[in-house]
Structure 1
Amino acid sequence: MTRGGSPSWSRPSAPLSGSLGPIVGLPILPCSRDPLISRSAISGRNSVPTRNSCVRGQERGTQVSPRSRNGSPKLTDPHKPLMRAFLRTPVLLYRTPLRAMLGRFYVLIEHRGRKSGRVYRTVVDRLHTDRETGEVFVTSAWGDKSDWFRNVQAAPSSGVWIGRRRFEPTQRIVELQEAYEIHRKAKEERPLAMRFGLALVNYPFPKTEEDLRELTRFMPVVGFRRFEASGT
């Protein structure tokens, strides 16, 4: 960490990894890590990170194929070589002075690998923010199999960056009904961004209430709030 409280981006002794779970925001980048990128975030395995091996979905306008044979959403194949460089964009931008602006749309989460014990940094989309409590909500576009989501289930995040500001969070996996309301607000507040983000991962835009509930069941929501010691 630098003296001014900004993140220090010198290469750490442990590799950084994670996945970006998008729904709304700026052009959505569903899987990005720094400086080493692995396929584990997509596959759900904590494999050893290899440079530039995480890749990401297809471009906007691709035909949606929402169901696989077993009935689960058939998402975009993330292993597209042309997308590898694109995946690094949010983390790279978070190293620059632009992070102050990026904090309006993206959140950087620090979490520890549940098997490796390594510290990872993941940039995820800022789905919604509760103005009264300051709680920030994010979601996992690849469902509960994404490594970053499984990691924060196993052990709470050690730090959250919003722009230049870092805080130690308390976190919670949001209950289904509340998660539905958060997705609904995201759809109402930024429908074009949500449509774009879902197209990238090849998930159909929810047109009905049941569609939105199905999306909520597949894409879990995590809430992060600044930690406050009891009695303060």
Structure 2
Amino acid sequence: MADSAFRRTPTGASRLLFRLPVHLYRIGLGWLFGRRLLLLNHIGRVSGKKRRVVVEVVERDPDAGTYTVCSGFGPKAAWYRNLMATPDVTIQVGVRTAEVTAVPLPPEEAGEVLVRYARRRPRTARGLTRFMGFETDGSEAAYRRAGTALPFVRFVPRT
């Protein structure tokens, strides 16, 4: 899938709705999201300013302490590009904060991550892939194809 096929970043009222979780985290209500959403604190690649965005956790590995997320707006999303420029960031999940390094996943691994997500949350996966511009019949092969086209990032704890 070409970059131009990804949905554009939200503007106007939809942007306010997408930014609402950031404000809830800022006022100490991050616990409302449990482990489903995380607050990513990163540095703007051009401005050098601190930036925040809330993204959905696609997969987590409690033993390794890793969290995996996906850029549903493609590789041109500002937060994703910022991570590629400066991968050492902090994340907040619920009330816990961690220093991590963002590691992009290879397409094959990303495809498998999306397949596992679809097994756990079939209805959500179907809606999200449709929202991101992918046609899916709900099969693992369709999710695997979509996953290989999307940029996934795994947050690995810094030691």
Q: Which residue of 2 aligns with 1:183?
A: 114
Q: Aligned to 2:129, which of 195, 198, 206?
A: 198
1:161 paired to 2:92: yes
Cα displacement (A) at 1:199: 3.4
Does the CA-based 8 Å contact 2:3-2:74 persist in structure 1? no
Q: 1:182 offset after TM fit, Å?
A: 0.9
Q: Is the 8 A contact 1:110 1:122 kept in 2?
A: yes
Give a deviation string over 1:124-170, Cα, whole Å, max 9, x none: 11001123212100000011111111111111132111111111112
Q: CA deviation at 1:110?
A: 1.3
Q: Within the alignment, does 1:207 sit opposite 2:135 as a pair?
A: no
The code of the aligned residue for 1:200 comes to: F
Q: After TM superposition, list the pairs within 5 Å mapping 1:31-180 onto structure 2.
A: 74-78=5-9, 81-180=12-111
Q: Which runs of 5+ in 1 are unaligned?
A: 1-66
RMSD over aligned CA atoms reads 2.3
Instruction: Write 1 or 2 for the structure with the bigger share of strand.
Output: 2
TM-score by length of 2: 0.85
Unaligned runs of 5+ in 2: none
* Percentage identity across paired residues of the two chains: 28
Task: Answer whether contact 2:3 2:75 (CA < 8 A) is retained.
Answer: no
Name whichever structure is richer in helix by fraction: 2
Aligned positions, number: 159
Greater Rg over alpha carbons, structure? 1
Q: Distance in 1 between matches of 2:80 and 2:61?
A: 21
State TM-score, norm by structure 1.
Answer: 0.61
Pairwise CA distance, 1:98: 3.3
Tell me if structure 1 keeps the 8 A contact 2:56–2:70: yes
Deviation at 1:79, TM superposition (A): 5.0
